[in-house]
Chains A and B, each alone.
Chain A
Amino acid sequence: MIPAPFRYQRAGSVDEAIELAVSGGEDAKFLAGGHSLLPLMKLRLAVPEILIDIGRLGELSYIRDHGSHVAVGALTSHDQVARSALLAQQVPLLAHAAGQVGDPQVRHRGTIGGSLAHADPAADLPAVMLAVDAILVTRGPSGGREIPAADFFRDLFETALRPGELLAEIRIPKPQASGWSFQKFTKRAIDWAIVGVAVQGDSVALINMGPTPLRARAVERALASGSQPRQAAAYAAEESSPPDDLNGGRGYREHLARVLVARALEESRSRS
């Protein structure tokens, strides 16, 4: 399988990438590690006419301590995130979850920004962003924006990014509550989550329980009013709309969500 024909352009700087994206218009897409986009292009589910390779923009690959938050450059690979001593100490949920993405080869190429901008509801890191209340920082033709993760994911593979706008940095507030957990249920290690859960303190986010990652608000409300993890987890599938596909039906996913949220909350409490 090979992708449909496209024109390849390599950006030498963020500014050049934005210029190329603006001139390419709707036919252009950014290419980072390519581990979300290229498989879709090979299946002809995505057919951009122009690919703007931003994979070599070293200026967007970093993990920095900024006091109240940790800043992660969008082109930092999953492997770098997973191995970061700073993240392991300050945001262990993110470091751990990045180490669960795909497999070693995928983690060598795939980037945190690419995964978020792609916005696959079955991906691991978008839900982590919701659980930690990350701020996604963009650069675009009319300057930059700071978008709360809660406003970033709009629909299946759709984000708040505007044409020509590039996800540049992810800012993660250092969590106040220390407990965390990441649970995902897959058939094989390399598969997308059938259902997954990211917990930071009493924030609970679900993977693949709707067209976007979503907060399990009913669980959070139950915890806030004093429910124990197992009681609160009973509400895990409320307000969700999980897909019905070959990997599992809706009812199966709702069951998985309740089971995984219970496990995640108990693990999180054991760590706090």
Chain B
Amino acid sequence: MKVSLTANGSQVAAEVADRTLLVHFLRDEAGLSATNVGCDTSSCGACTVLLNGRSVKSCTVLAAQADGCDVVTVEGLAADGDELHPVQRAFRAEHALQCGFCTPGMVMATVSLLAENPAPTEDEVRAALEGNLCRCTGYHNIVRAVLAAAAERSLR
């Protein structure tokens, strides 16, 4: 079937098999390979992207279900590709990544959280990221980064 969607502001259309998953559409058809496939069972959250503004696990969404929708991946956060998004800056400043595999998903889950709750408490941050696993167990710095990003946003 033909799937047409907006990925990071650009229109992407491709003829794909009905069973194509959104994450494979993004990586293979849209050329957006920053979104990782981790567990592939909707547990780890590495494949988290925004679908119409809300975080979803793109390994558990069919490309067909996203037809006509607006998708944002971690590549779409930095304006013009050079200035990092505040959440990306906070992850770098707080050393919130080790191997980096979970990072695209962590960042997108954080963007979704801060859109819903601009000033979360530490407990709220931990609850909001419960669907994202870091195999390096770097959670403390990730939580610090989310809180720092929220604080930076509130100053602006």
Contacts and interface: CB of A to CB of B under 8 A. Distances in A.
30 contacts: A1-B41, A2-B20, A5-B17, A5-B18, A6-B18, A7-B18, A10-B64, A31-B65, A34-B60, A38-B42, A39-B42, A42-B41, A43-B41, A55-B65, A103-B45, A103-B131, A104-B55, A104-B113, A104-B128, A104-B130, A104-B131, A106-B131, A108-B51, A108-B54, A108-B55, A108-B56, A109-B57, A109-B60, A189-B127, A190-B130
A29 interface: no
Given A5-B18, A8-B1, A39-B60, 20 more contacts: A1-B40, A2-B19, A6-B18, A6-B19, A8-B18, A8-B64, A38-B60, A42-B41, A51-B18, A53-B62, A53-B64, A55-B65, A79-B54, A103-B130, A103-B132, A104-B109, A104-B130, A104-B131, A105-B42, A109-B61
B112 interface: yes
Interface in B54-86: 54-57, 60-62, 64-65, 67
Interface string B114-142: 00000000000001101110000000000
Interface in A166-206: 188-190
A105 B55 CA distance: 5
B48 interface: yes
Interface string A34-77: 11001100110000000101010000000000000000000000
A165 B21 CA distance: 27
A146 to B, nearest CB: 30
Given A8-B1, A38-B62, A42-B41, A105 B19 contact: no
A126 interface: no
B43 interface: yes
B59 to A, nearest CB: 8
Contacts of B65: 31, 34, 53, 55
Interface residues of A, number: 30
Contact of A2 (B24, B51, B64, B131): B24
Given A39-B60, A190-B131, A105 B43 contact: no
Interface of B: 1, 17-21, 24, 40-43, 45, 48, 51, 54-57, 60-62, 64-65, 67, 109, 112-113, 127-128, 130-132
A184 to B, nearest CB: 13
B50 to A, nearest CB: 10
Contacts of B130: 103-104, 188-190
Contacts of B128: 104
A7 B56 CA distance: 23
Contacts of B132: 103
A4 B19 contact: yes
A5 B62 CA distance: 12
A182 to B, nearest CB: 15
Given A10-B64, A38-B60, A39-B42, A102 B131 contact: yes
B56 A3 contact: no
B1 A2 contact: no
A95 to B, nearest CB: 15
A106 B64 contact: no
A225 B24 CA distance: 58
A140 B142 CA distance: 48
